[in-house]
Structure 1
């Protein structure tokens, strides 16, 4: 197995070949739709409106502040990193059937899905590996220590308040996994008085959805609190998700998801405040093509944070959390295997204002533990990370520099760093540059899976250089970023490894890319778009040198167009991706595709609306992983009650 050929497996998270699953598509390319997407991104250069992790008692701040790019609250203009934010208003407008559908076509993102809703989905950010992206839910790490990836397909969009996607290396702030970037998901928060909200929906493939939320605030801004409870249920009969030669079964492969978020916070005065939250998503997924064909899964996070402001210039926060990734797998209803990951985490962070500078320093502690029906040589490890960051504005220029040292009980220490520079040119242009290093720790499967793992593995390392230009004008915004990433010590299958062939640090990769994103308002029409050009190639000293890395399209894009007429809203989304290859030898080609989605909504009373969405309206046949078809034409009709919806 080559590290670059590789994705999360279709079935159990403990599969030794956890990064890879073979694929190819028989679908004809749809170049015309893709050309429209790419051209539109320059004709209408858009930049997403940024949202944030502000306190729930400051609604305006939710549209101005981002936190993932620096671990501190920064405004959109102050943020130097390449970032995309998807807020709740956009999620309500798009009504995506899944989180992967919401992310598809965004700048720097490529997806490979194994057969529709609820099926294993691999996300490649800026051409890096599918396990090179750190996923956070409300600041808590999510993911499997055995396979190395997070199960994005199990997080329902109904539970999401907003998403911050930060592109580029961020190990200097977050440690392992943040080699390609960070995706942080914030769950639903109360937006007004204590009023219930709910949604009922039905659609094709016998899809059914229901959500119920309740939240509010007590007290005032000086001393008071907030709370929120949101529950969701979804099910679908799905499609026949697999057409390949191994374990083929021409049935419908359904999916069910039940999720609950309970959270709240309290401000004790000017100095102290606290928050606590629980997120749990349970999935039941049917699939074909592996030794098992049914999985019961759980994604869960539990955490709390206590913050203290000793003075206006010094703030200290202590966070304690736990995340669990659980999977029980079955073959024709007979138990097959269990792969569970438990993570305990603690963070102490201080932010000090020193004149015009903001200094951040802190300590992260994380303990991973694996419980499985498969016996691993080691089932736990501990990582300790010490980090520091300096941010300062100098008139029209800005600097952000960070340094981190991680000590892992399995492989030892790693030091990473990052430096960002920005220059505001006049009132409309912002020039930026960045250099950073990152690393990814090997997974438990790569280290210890019986008959496969190599306990001598070392982390994968990367270095990245990036330049960007951002513009703002009365009708909208745009940005353009170009980058190069080099990855060393990539973990690949080594047939010459002794005494047993297996994974080894023997490969390299070089990735070049350009991203264009932006937004524009023209004659009451809102246009938002993104386009990515990518050249991700193997760079090792072997026969694969110069070949395109698998499952990464060399070009992709998305354009969303919306308009509101009093009580009626209309919209369309056009997305597409170019060709890609299933294998590193580039002999099994997946053709490009283009998709069109349509939507219409009617607000028929105060706080009440009905919305109809139609996806893949031209019924394009395509695959993002070989032998795993994607859904054809589908629709969803939703009734929504949302007091004070934005």
Structure 2
């Protein structure tokens, strides 16, 4: 079904049009319900900072496999994918690093104080209703202060229960199967517990062998190989309770659990194809969100979250003294946040958010100091909106204190981070906007940066980033058969200093503040929809990114002014979806230009560009009391072999079939 905004004119309550005929008689004519459909653009043109969205329906119709594949479709997003179903997948906004990119799950920040970057591959797309990427500032004034601290935020919003008519429950069973031993059964149950309370429960299991074929080139010889140690098994469960109180305030309680065991295949090297490394992951959290609108002038939101993370890494090999390496890490986070919005006069809104968090790390690695981090974040956001002008100013205050059980603790951190954005609509009757943004952010050294055995450095300073953006957005209806035509063009410049990198010393490597990076680029997005006939609709979208990210650390270095590793100059994607009564067809292409795996842009470090094609066919069958959705996908239609990370080959052509039974 296409995305649409539906206005239903009911004739049940006012079921007649009354026309006076005489003083004592009337004629009544009943008219049927009228449904007016208009699809909306996925591009937000009125925001002062770039915001891109993808709905769950769009993701399904395009045959998007996982979260990383979805995020690749956002302009300005750089995804690192270590291959296969179980490979680590992280996202970086405009090449500032994964640690500068925040992730929120139903409004609550997702954290990883140990590594600083979030593996987005563990999040399922099956229950996603909306995925958005905000670069700079998100538009939500009630967001937690922690989300202001990131250069960009990937927001994942899950589906809320929706019932047909007087139904009080809804069930869904889904099974997916595909190449390389991939199979995923999933179940979902929505239930009404009363007029104001609903619950949802869902769970899924996933397994895959991941032993896909690839070609190994050794000089003039080419051999057919198979990826080994790529198997993965995972479980995911989630439960939600939604309640609306008598005063119209809302409460949401979410419980989440994830477990995985995956092989880490390692890089492909000549004469040594074996990898025996295995990673176990557990993640569980409980989060509570309460939201209330006191009046037209006052809104309030509070959230609390407990997060537990556990992982074990084991590797076998003769390079270890006992033939085995094993390390176990355990994280705990206790997090609370409260935010309020006050509107003293109509054009002005003032928002204040206060966060507090406690993070701990326990590790079996040698010399672990078992750190505890105390964080306080305060954000003041002022927005003025009048006559096509929107001005947004943000000031974020951060205070961090750490305690350790062994050795010297790092210095306390106290810092103010400003941001401002402006949007101007010159003509009220035209959806044309000009926008500009500046934002100052930083990333705190992670526990690994500070305390990792023989590598950590407790004297590290935060890595600083300054973002500048200027752009134009436009949404028009140039023809009667078009539902919308929207595009955005944004030019940007990022200045990153005090980069935290692993730096060689006389006897060993250590973490250090050593690096300066300039990132210059352009992001372009386009979206359009056509009504080819009453029952046939076409949706088109595309995104393009030009990015020049250069190392300016040392003028005497061989990599001075070279493009940063894994940063293509050119990347983009296009997609088309045709909705027809008998079948829906989706086709998409994701393209990435050449990159380099190391700092020097020399031929031996070059990684060739690629274009991945995906074809999707789907149809919904309606029966009495239930629905059946069938979908087939061919991924990498042209069977192109490529690497996202050098020596980590991605799968070639593969297939997937999905059946969804709803009743």
Q: Shorter chain as normaliser: what TM range?
A: 0.7 to 0.9
2:534 pairs with 1:521: no
What CA distance in whole angstroms lies between the structure 1 residues aligned with 2:436 and 2:474?
15
Deviation at 1:489? Answer: 0.9
What CA distance in whole angstroms lies between the structure 2 residues aligned with 1:384 and 1:148?
17
2:566 pairs with 1:551: yes
What pairs up with 1:290-369 in 2 under 5 angstroms? Answer: 293-331=277-315, 336-356=326-346, 357-369=348-360
What CA distance in whole angstroms lies between the structure 1 residues aligned with 2:40 and 2:298?
22
Find the residue that maps to 1:195 and give its secondary structure: strand
| Number of residue pairs the alignment of both structures matches | 571
State the match for 2:588 in structure 1: 573
Is the Cα–Cα contact under 8 Å of residues 290 and 303 in structure 2 kept in the other structure?
yes
What CA distance in whole angstroms lies between the structure 1 residues aligned with 2:248 and 2:92?
41
Match of 1:473 among 461, 472, 476: 476
| Structure 1 unmatched runs, 5+ | 1-47, 51-59, 67-74
What pairs up with 1:489-528 in 2 under 5 angstroms? Answer: 489-496=498-505, 501-522=509-530, 523=532, 524-528=537-541
State the match for 2:80 in structure 1: 112
Is the Cα–Cα contact under 8 Å of residues 129 and 157 in structure 2 kept in the other structure?
yes
State the match for 1:535 in structure 2: 548
What CA distance in whole angstroms lies between the structure 1 residues aligned with 2:280 and 2:4?
37
State the match for 2:447 in structure 1: 444
Is the Cα–Cα contact under 8 Å of residues 132 and 180 in structure 1 kept in the other structure?
yes
State the match for 2:642 in structure 1: 622
Is 167-176 or 297-306 further displaced after alignment? 167-176
What CA distance in whole angstroms lies between the structure 1 residues aligned with 2:53 and 2:171?
26
Which structure has the larger Rg over C-alpha atoms? 2
Find the residue that maps to 2:69 and give its secondary structure: helix
Query: Per-residue displacement from partner, 1:441-464 (whole Å, max 9, x unpaired)?
Result: 011111111211110101111111
What CA distance in whole angstroms lies between the structure 1 residues aligned with 2:68 and 2:266?
21
Deviation at 1:115? Answer: 2.0
State the match for 1:482 in structure 2: 491
Query: Per-residue displacement from partner, 1:77-107 (whole Å, max 9, x unpaired)?
Result: 6532211111111122133222112222321
Deviation at 1:423? Answer: 0.8
What CA distance in whole angstroms lies between the structure 1 residues aligned with 2:158 and 2:400?
30
Find the residue that maps to 2:351 and give its secondary structure: strand
State the match for 2:97 in structure 1: 129
Shift of the 169–389 alpha-carbon distance from structure 1 to 2, 3 Å rule, reads closer
State the match for 2:361 in structure 1: 370
What CA distance in whole angstroms lies between the structure 2 residues aligned with 1:170 and 1:260?
28
TM-score (normalizing by structure 1): 0.83
Is the Cα–Cα contact under 8 Å of residues 421 and 437 in structure 2 kept in the other structure?
yes
Query: Per-residue displacement from partner, 1:529-569 (whole Å, max 9, x unpaired)?
Result: 11111111112135132111111111111111011111310
Deviation at 1:169? Answer: 6.7
Deviation at 1:332? Answer: 5.6
Find the residue that maps to 1:586 and give its secondary structure: coil
What CA distance in whole angstroms lies between the structure 2 residues aligned with 1:244 and 1:414?
51
Is the Cα–Cα contact under 8 Å of residues 538 and 576 in structure 2 kept in the other structure?
yes
2:616 pairs with 1:641: no
What CA distance in whole angstroms lies between the structure 2 residues aligned with 1:256 and 1:528?
34
Query: Per-residue displacement from partner, 1:89-132 (whole Å, max 9, x unpaired)?
Result: 11221332221122223211122211211111232211111222
Deviation at 1:196? Answer: 0.6
State the match for 2:406 in structure 1: none
State the match for 1:412 in structure 2: 413
What pairs up with 1:24-423 in 2 under 5 angstroms? Answer: 76=44, 78-168=46-136, 174-175=145-146, 178-192=149-163, 193=167, 194-220=169-195, 224-239=196-211, 251-270=228-247, 272-289=249-266, 293-331=277-315, 336-356=326-346, 357-374=348-365, 375-410=367-402, 411-423=412-424
Query: Per-residue displacement from partner, 1:190-218 (whole Å, max 9, x unpaired)?
Result: 12242111211211112111121111445
Find the residue that maps to 1:131 and give its secondary structure: helix
Is the Cα–Cα contact under 8 Å of residues 271 and 310 in structure 1 kept in the other structure?
no
Deviation at 1:501? Answer: 4.7
2:616 pairs with 1:599: yes
Find the residue that maps to 1:409 and give its secondary structure: strand
Shift of the 399–494 alpha-carbon distance from structure 1 to 2, 3 Å rule, reads same
Is the Cα–Cα contact under 8 Å of residues 112 and 118 in structure 2 kept in the other structure?
yes
Match of 1:455 among 453, 458, 473: 458
Is the Cα–Cα contact under 8 Å of residues 148 and 396 in structure 2 kept in the other structure?
no
Find the residue that maps to 2:126 and give its secondary structure: helix
2:577 pairs with 1:562: yes
Find the residue that maps to 2:121 and give its secondary structure: helix
Query: Per-residue displacement from partner, 1:255-305 (whole Å, max 9, x unpaired)?
Result: 122111101121111253321101222111112339961111123331102
Find the residue that maps to 1:597 and give its secondary structure: strand
What CA distance in whole angstroms lies between the structure 2 residues aligned with 1:183 and 1:601?
28
Deviation at 1:476? Answer: 2.0
